[in-house]
Amino acid sequence: MSLFNHAEHPLVSVVIPSKNRLDFLLEALDSVFAQTYQNLEVIVVDDGSATPLGPMLKEKYGDRILFLRHEKSLGAPAARNAGARLASGEYIAFLDDDDLWLPEKISKQIECFKCASLPCALVGCSFAYVKNLASLMTCFAPYKVELEDGLFKLLLSRNVIGGCSVPLIKREALTSVGGFDESFKSCQDWDLWLRLLHWGDAVFVPDVLLYRRVHEGQITSNLKHKIAGRKRLLAKFPEEFANFPRTRKEHLRRLATLSLLDDDRLSALNGYLNVLIQDMLDWRSFCGVLLSMLPLKCGKILAERAGAMRLNGTIFYH
């Protein structure tokens, strides 16, 4: 007999993809098992680690974890989808292996689902970047706006929900929209959030419920993947971007800046000029044209000031 009243405490499936990061994974799992909300199903997907993670996880956690291994890495989106297919919970929460949940994360998000007045696809939360648990770097709070011409338009412009570790998602919604698009090398979370908002509403817990860990592997981002992801996003939502031409223009300008940061001055110049053809008064793109014509190092330094976020010396391209 179940120990839980499923009407009050519905099952939540937690899906954690991991590859070659056992130390981080163990800390992430400990943050899951420290949740005040206890009706959890935990699924770890080993996406082709050089040393299989299963035996070590079995030794520490026993039967508290469902485990799946890909002998060859298929990428994080495919690993998340594989874990979601194994899930039996009414809700699904993804957790990156280098992130950490605070103890009340799932409990507070479940309460938001219960109180939602409209059909709800996901519940987000505020989060903080940390280098270690004693060193809080900065906090990011969700935007509190209405869905009608509000959150969706804002999300189309930039990923205001955050990464995969942030939301609690209704499994029915995730299944309905088809999960993560595995063709995306970057921006796959952003793409999923947009599709989920076509299914239902999104609400937010204002509290910080997630620590996103900053470590050396994040200092340099794969700009080519980010450029490809944004281009794919523009191509995938043509009607939505047509309804918000200013947002589309912002994406094109952003793509040009990322190209400049990636040492591709020709693509950057063409991108800025493309924006100016649509709007000759776009002064940011005019500045971008000038940056594209400067010596490469100077142009990159100035573009980085506008095209990246720095936290204690760590650079994030977005």
Quote the CA–CA distance of 153 and 155 in Å, as a whole number.
5
219 half-sphere exposure, CB direction, 13 A CA radius: 7
Distances (CA, A) of 85 to 10, 78, 172, 261: 18, 11, 12, 38
pLDDT digits (tens, 9 = 90+) for 227-250: 999 999 999 999 999 999 999 999
End-to-end alpha carbon distance in the chain:
48
Q: Are strands 65-70 and 40-47 parallel, antiparallel or unpaired?
A: parallel
Quote the CA–CA distance of 262 and 299 in Å, as a whole number.
11
Quote the CA–CA distance of 80 and 47 in Å, as a whole number.
10
Instruction: Quote the strand ranges of the chain, DSSP E.
Output: 12-18, 40-47, 65-70, 91-94, 99-101, 120-132, 135-140, 168-170, 201-213, 308-311, 314-317
Q: Kindly tell me the sign of the dihedral angle through the C-alpha atoms of 34, 174, 24, 142.
A: negative
Quote the CA–CA distance of 103 and 210 in Å, as a whole number.
9
Cβ-Cβ contacts under 8 Å for 175 (sequence gap 6 or more): none
Distances (CA, A) of 250 to 152, 191, 244, 287: 15, 17, 10, 14
Query: 3: how many CB neighbours lie within 10 A of its CB?
Result: 7
pLDDT score for 140: 74
pLDDT digits (tens, 9 = 90+) for 132-158: 665 666 677 765 554 445 788 889 998
Contact 123, 204 (CB under 8 A): yes
What is the dotted CATH code of the domain comprising 12-218? 3.90.550.10
Tens of pLDDT along the chain (318 residues) come to 455 556 667 899 999 999 999 999 999 999 999 999 999 999 999 999 999 999 999 999 999 999 999 999 999 999 999 999 999 999 999 999 999 999 999 999 999 999 988 899 999 999 998 876 656 666 777 655 544 457 888 899 989 999 999 999 999 999 999 999 999 989 999 999 999 999 999 999 999 999 998 866 553 468 899 999 999 999 999 999 999 999 999 999 999 988 888 888 899 999 999 999 988 898 888 888 888 887 766 655 655 655 555 555 555 555
Domain ranges of the chain: 12-218, 223-317
pLDDT digits (tens, 9 = 90+) for 35-45: 999 999 999 99
pLDDT score for 117: 82
Cβ-Cβ contacts under 8 Å for 115 (sequence gap 6 or more): none
Quote the CA–CA distance of 246 and 184 in Å, as a whole number.
24
Beta bridge partners of 261: none
Distances (CA, A) of 61 to 45, 67, 126, 185: 15, 11, 29, 32
* Placement of tokens 């039967």 in the chain: 63
